[in-house]
Amino acid sequence: MNAKTVETLFGLIDESTESIKNALDISYLEALIETGDDLFESQVLQDELDDQLKTKLMNNIAAFQENEYEKESIRRAFQLAILKGMKEGIQPNHEMTPDGIGFIMSYLVSKFTKGKNELKILDPAVGTGNLLHSVLIQTGDQFSAAYGVDVDDILVRLAYVVGNLLGHEIELFNQDALGPLLIDPVDLVVCDLPVGYFPNEERAKNYKLKAKEGMSYSHHLFIEQSMNYLKNGGYFIGLIPNHLFTSEQTAQLHEYIKETCMIQGLIQLPASSFKDERHQKSILILRKNAEDNKKLKQALLVDFPKLTNTQAVEEMMYRINKWFEENL
């Protein structure tokens, strides 16, 4: 995969999307869904378009098929298109997980699941699917089932069409992830945790991590829900706010973690990965309690360098690999 290939593919996707958007008077993201469906079905599905526009769209479909783009190129090109569409206005919690962070999380998934197959994976805040697709591209052969949940129907539809084009079989649920899920226990949960207060106080009452007073934190409840749907011994690898363990509800969270799981690692990400220092995040790795869990010599505690500092990143990866050799 190279940048020019991604740029060419984005141009093709963007041209079709803009054409459909203007012709049908819909949002860019809705038109992007239509474009994805057309590319997957190899035909123009919008009957109301005029013949001239249909011909233009068919030419783009033919160009897409002729080039046989790699999965990572398709994911990145659609990511650029989604980012363009999001500029029309979208909630902060629906921002996509940055590629660099997705790479680190995918790497951690591969290390913690090494040698295991027929695994099941869940992203309870799947959004457009960017994080889940990244993980499946790098480690997909290990997973026999993948699930994603999100309350936003547009984002779920985007995750669906991109998944189709990538050949990822993902079962997607358009619902509140903090409600009951029709999903059997999984081996791994990956998640970019939604940060903030959970507005449904009645539903929050079902959780041990509900606030003693006032509204509960969504990110706390998502951790508990992840544990609810993890098999014993399963892993949670989540992107958490840096203030997770310093808020007024921290004592409850500490107690819950002590009772249900073991901290495997905490990786603080570089400030340069985030637009606003107040929104800095880290990667938290938990393992749900099980009788045969091996006790670690020490948790993986890392202050990750700037992703642009190649030498520092290589040295850090060496240290992390060393930790896996000694502990797992």
Q: Domain of 73: which CATH number? A: 1.10.150.470
68 shares a domain with 185: no
164 and 276 in a common domain: yes
Q: What is the largest CA-CA distance in the chain?
A: 67
Tell me: do 230 and 111 sit in the same domain: yes
Q: Which domain holds residue 46?
A: 3-86
Q: What pairs with residue 282 in β-bridges?
A: 240, 268
pLDDT of residue 1: 61
My answer on whether 213 and 295 are in the same domain is yes
pLDDT tens sequence across 104-153: 999 999 999 999 999 999 999 999 999 999 999 998 789 999 999 999 99
Cα dist. 9→58, 64, 67 in Å?
15, 8, 9
Q: Are residues 181 and 286 in the same domain?
A: yes
Which residues of 72-215 form beta strands (DSSP E)?
119-123, 143-150, 170-174, 186-192, 197-198
Number of domains in the chain: 2
Dihedral over alpha carbons 146, 327, 264, 234 (to 10 degrees): 30
Examine the domain organization and report whether 80 and 136 are in the same domain.
no
Q: Provide, rounded to the nearest whole percent, the portion of the chain with pLDDT above 90.
A: 83
Residue 222: exposed, middle, or buried by beta-carbon count in 10 A (0-12, 13-18, 19+)?
buried
Residue 174's DSSP bridge partners are: 150
Lowest mean pLDDT among 28-37, 95-104, 194-203: 95-104
The answer on pLDDT for 167 being more than 90 is: yes
Taking residue 267's Cβ as centre, other Cβ atoms within 10 Å add up to 22
Q: In the predicted model, is pLDDT for residue 297 greater than 90?
A: no
Strand ranges (E), the chain: 119-123, 143-150, 170-174, 186-192, 197-198, 216-217, 230-241, 261-268, 281-288, 300-303
**Domain end call among 66, 86, 106:** 86
Of the three residues 36, 69, 86, the one that is the final residue of a domain is 86
pTM attached to this predicted model:
0.94
Mean pLDDT of 238-263: 93
CA 197 to chain centre: 20
The Cα 134–Cα 317 span in angstroms is 19
Q: Which of 70, 86, 102 is the last residue of a domain?
A: 86
Do 146 and 68 share a structural domain?
A: no
